[in-house]
Structure 1
Amino acid sequence: AGITLFLFMLGALSIAIVIPKENISLVSGLMEALKLYLSQYGLSWLLPTLALLLVVGAIAEVNSWIMGPVKALYTTSVHGNLPPFFQNLNKHGMPTHLLLFQAIVVTIVSFVILYMPTISTAYWILTAISAQIYLIMYIFMFIAAIRLRYTHPHVPRLYKIPNPHKGMWFVASLGLAASIFAICIGFVPPSQLSTGSRTIYHSLLFFGLLVMIAIPLIIYQCRKPSWVIQAEEE
């Protein structure tokens, strides 16, 4: 985790050193930095090649982003946490209905671009919402870790935090505090971004986060025994 954090910080700082902060674009900041670096050494001809490699890497990354959540959702649907409609598989074993539903949701959410003054602002909001939703999951994980230490202390684990109770409370509390702090930071836009109306900005983040939290809770409360796929049906 420390190495990953260091590499991300190094990349961000390298862009910040080259490009003035008021000119940094969240969308094209990396390409602008590469263009400045390469032009200094007479290697501008390398820019299209690097851009192509970045596109290939982005496509591969998006592929994992698309399939990872869908596969996880299908696993939960098998255990009866989603309606039977989402349990449909094609001949290649892919949950097609979940893929289509994901595409519809992402398309609707992407319309936030229409209400923002710049692409960078829209990109920031979408990134902030996705990060906040991700951190909500970690908050639940930290709470679950504390609870399981008391309710199932003798279950074999691959790794155990030293000092059964104090150690768990210390580590989980740090994780909870960091997650809550990061969620709050998402509501504070960077100073160089033009967000337009602060009311619209905060409303999009708050209600977007609220809806994303409410949907799984509502589905969980409405689940039925008939939603469970029997072993012979899988």
Structure 2
Amino acid sequence: MANSKKLTLFGLIGITMAFFGTVRSVPTLSMTGWTQIFYMLVAAILFALPIALMSAELSTGFPEEGGPQVWVKNALGEKWGFVTSWLLWVQMFFGMVMVASTVGILLGYVIDAHELSSNNYFIFAVILISYWGVTLLNLKFDMVKIAGNWGAIIGVYIPFLFLVVLGVIYMLKHGIQPDNYLGNFKASDLLPDLSNLGSLAYLSGIIFIFAGVEISSVHAKNIENPKRNYPIAVIASVILLVIFNLIAGLTVSNAIPNGKIELANITQPFMIFCQDLGIPTIFVNIISLMIMIGVLVQLSAWVLGPSKSMIKVADEGNLPPFFQKRTSKGIPITFVLIQAIVISLVSVLYIVVPDVNSAFLIITITTTILYCIVYALIAISAIRLRYKMPDMERPFRLGNKGNGLMWFVSLLSLFSVAITLTVSLIPPSILAPSQSTGYIIYQVVATVVMISIALIIYKFKKPSWKLK
């Protein structure tokens, strides 16, 4: 590859930031007040960095497409490779419901009908319309090509920048507000309150900010001098994300009165800042529209992304021939339609759980749990491959010689996954005590069912399923 085509260090930092740049997670962060600093550092150091570094070694060692599924298959065999690709597909069912739910709230602001934003039935209807809408568009057009880069600029970068700037101006004007999430600071506020274990569940929602950190590793082989530049790019991206998210998170914590934050409503802080700083309300409607465009572009990218890697798994004979159907444009039609149907069913949670905040947090945590199981498989595979394929070329390698550093990084990653899974099973303090048992049952059943389906399909697969 000619050097001109190689990614520069700044290029890779930009791409990595684009994967995680989202305004949507700011309210979840803000809800934890001063503790968000601790949670963000834990999420970045224990969770994001180890996974990103292991993924860099694995993706440069296995440059073919397929990512985590290829790594796990080579390390632990075809069955666990299949489970990995399956989990990366099904976590999307929950993740996309959560992302699509913000469309309803934003739409309420765009059309100036704010009471709709907290109406569960309206949000449920908008999830169905927006997800089926982008699904049908993707069957007809290549929406990622049409809406790719400018979607992130309009829907993520500009709103995030405005949120940070307005938040800082508000903080400079008012100082720290006593009746808000940052009020009456005590040093103990920097650490989680262990007497209220329910508050630890927010760590799972904050870790979700970094879910998907392995995706940027696909670019590791295209960067100049990957051994030096890739870790610099990853560490720089994670540090920048921590800084930007914390500035946004802390300024929003300072603006919203205690107990009044709306997790799925990113427009809420914009509303408060604009009213206080005398900016016309039309600005909030415009920002809501921009974020809504960004969310729809993101939904669009997810409609085809995971299903394209799943159809490769189907072609290899892991799923019945019915799953191998493609449209004339090569779109994996069975997967695209199944995911739309399941997402419609999961979104019924917005009708079953009366509080929009609770439904949003529950679904965020389910997505994080499924991601964590994939990350545990990646960590085990990274160390397994050091012994199974010691002579494999690794353009980026953790440690110059020996396996000590890889052991350290993969054990750190497994430790962080264990912590995340533990806090994910603690009912969040936002839920009523009567909902606690239901919450634990839902998370355990959702996880066990999703893994079991993959293992059952694999057990009963037939040689005739393989694409001839």
Indicate whether the TM-score tops 0.5: yes
Structure 2 CA distance, aligned partners of 1:2 and 1:228? 45
Q: Equivalent residue for 1:4?
A: 241
Q: Equivalent residue for 1:113?
A: 350
Judge conservation of contact 1:21–1:192 (CA < 8 Å) in 2: no
Structure 1 residues 78, 2: closer, same or farther in 2, change over 3 A? Answer: farther
Judge conservation of contact 1:116–1:196 (CA < 8 Å) in 2: no
Give the counterpart of 1:80 among 306, 313, 317.
317
Structure 1 CA distance, aligned partners of 2:322 and 2:275? 54
Structure 2 CA distance, aligned partners of 1:179 and 1:5? 19
Matched, 1:33 2:269: yes
State which drifts further: 49-58 or 175-184.
Answer: 175-184
Structure 2 CA distance, aligned partners of 1:6 and 1:221? 46
Structure 2 CA distance, aligned partners of 1:82 and 1:14? 48
Q: Equivalent residue for 2:437?
A: 199
Matches within 5 A, 1:37-76: 37-43=273-279, 44-76=281-313
| % identical aligned pairs | 30
Which 4+ stretches in 1 moved above 3 angstroms? 192-196
Q: Equivalent residue for 1:104?
A: 341
Q: Equivalent residue for 2:411?
A: 173
State which drifts further: 108-117 or 167-176.
Answer: 108-117
State which drifts further: 39-48 or 200-209.
Answer: 39-48
CA drift of 1:193 comes to 4.0
Give the counterpart of 1:127 among 361, 364, 381.
364
Give the counterpart of 2:388 among 117, 142, 151.
151
Judge conservation of contact 2:358–2:430 (CA < 8 Å) in 1: no
Matched, 1:22 2:22: no
Amino acid at match of 1:14: T
**Greater RCO structure (CA 8 Å; 6+ sep):** 2
Say how many residue pairs are matched: 229
CA drift of 1:14 comes to 2.5
Structure 1 residues 81, 9: closer, same or farther in 2, change over 3 A? Answer: farther
Judge conservation of contact 1:121–1:195 (CA < 8 Å) in 2: no
Structure 2 CA distance, aligned partners of 1:73 and 1:14? 41
CA drift of 1:45 comes to 2.5
Judge conservation of contact 1:117–1:196 (CA < 8 Å) in 2: no
What is the alpha-carbon root mean square deviation over aligned residues? 1.6
Structure 1 residues 157, 196: closer, same or farther in 2, change over 3 A? Answer: same
